[in-house]
Amino acid sequence: MAISLRIRHTAQYAALLRPSFCLLLLLAAGLVQAATLERPDDELRRMLEKTIGESDSFKDRFDAEVWLMDMSNRLKSRVPDDAERLELLKNIHYEASKVGLPPEMVLAVINVESNFNRWAISRVGAQGLMQVMPFWLKEFPQAGDNLFDIRTNLRFGCTILKHYIDREKGDYQRALARYNGSLGKEWYPNKVFDLLSKRWFRSR
């Protein structure tokens, strides 16, 4: 039973990242125009051009503009400042892609962990966007020493999550629970999957 459940969640996650599935979700929710076709104002466009020019984790300029605008619209209520929001998305895409993680998964994890509050501290001392425990700084001092620094936090968080996914042989259910420190329980990965399917799915 447990094995079949893990397989189902892994297959479910893979389906969420398929463009055809995501497009159906967008159409059903009436979000296609709002998410992908709404044109930015002049100031946001200038910021977008700057962000695209500085990013090297996208396949091409078109992919960069579509993804950044799509996710920027979804993130705006949580990070209102345009420049801060685009810089955060660029860094998420870069650090996730560098270790082979879908950036959309990282967005969902951040949403659950800190709700995009870079200064968040948990009751057990986990810090920053991806709620990384400070002991990791001693394990990899070369990666940075400040978990409230966005790039440092994302680098640690993405690397740790990818390690757990590899360790669990692609079982996202177990890997996410392990990341949260709740291995054997389903509530945390289910929250991530829910946000991935409803808010952070890939639209193309």
Number of structural domains found in the chain: 1
**Rounded CA separation 161/13 (Å):** 15
**Rounded CA separation 112/126 (Å):** 13
How far is the CA of 112 from the CAs of 11, 58, 68, 109, 117, in angstroms?
A: 21, 25, 20, 5, 11
Whether residue 37 is predicted with pLDDT greater than 70 in this model: the reply is no
Mean pLDDT check: name the lowest of 7-11, 58-62, 68-72, 193-197: 7-11
- Quick one: pLDDT band at residue 195, thresholds 50, 70, 90? very high
Q: Buried (b) or exposed (e) across 131-140, using 16+ Cβ within 10 A? A: bbbeebbeee
**5 neighbors 190 (Cβ within 8 angstroms):** no
Q: How far apart are the first and last CA of the chain?
A: 34
**CA quadruple 85, 172, 95, 36: dihedral positive or negative?**
negative
Does residue 66 lie in a domain region? yes
Average of pLDDT values for 109-127? 96
For 159-191, the pLDDT digits (tens) are 899 989 998 999 999 999 999 999 999 999 999
pLDDT at 55: 58
Mean pLDDT check: name the lowest of 25-29, 53-57, 94-98: 25-29
> Considering the chain, what is the average pLDDT of its residues?
80
Whether residue 192 is predicted with pLDDT greater than 70 in this model: the reply is yes
For 2-27, the pLDDT digits (tens) are 444 444 555 555 555 554 444 334 33
pLDDT at 39: 45
Does residue 59 lie in a domain region? yes
**Rounded CA separation 157/99 (Å):** 11
**Rounded CA separation 204/51 (Å):** 20
Does residue 177 lie in a domain region? yes
Does residue 203 lie in a domain region? no
Does residue 73 lie in a domain region? yes
Average of pLDDT values for 119-135? 95
Does residue 163 lie in a domain region? yes
Average of pLDDT values for 78-93? 95
- Quick one: pLDDT band at residue 64, thresholds 50, 70, 90? confident
Does residue 204 lie in a domain region? no
Task: List the domain range (segments joined by +) for residue 178.
Answer: 2-198
- Helix 82-99 / helix 103-113 crossing angle, nearest 10 deg: 120
pLDDT at 50: 58
**Rounded CA separation 197/139 (Å):** 34
**Rounded CA separation 16/166 (Å):** 20
* CATH assignment at residue 188: 1.10.530
Does residue 171 lie in a domain region? yes
Whether residue 128 is predicted with pLDDT greater than 60 in this model: the reply is yes
From the number of C-beta atoms within 10 Å of its C-beta (0-12, 13-18, 19+), residue 156 rates as buried
Q: What pTM was computed for the model? A: 0.75
**89 neighbors 186 (Cβ within 8 angstroms):** no
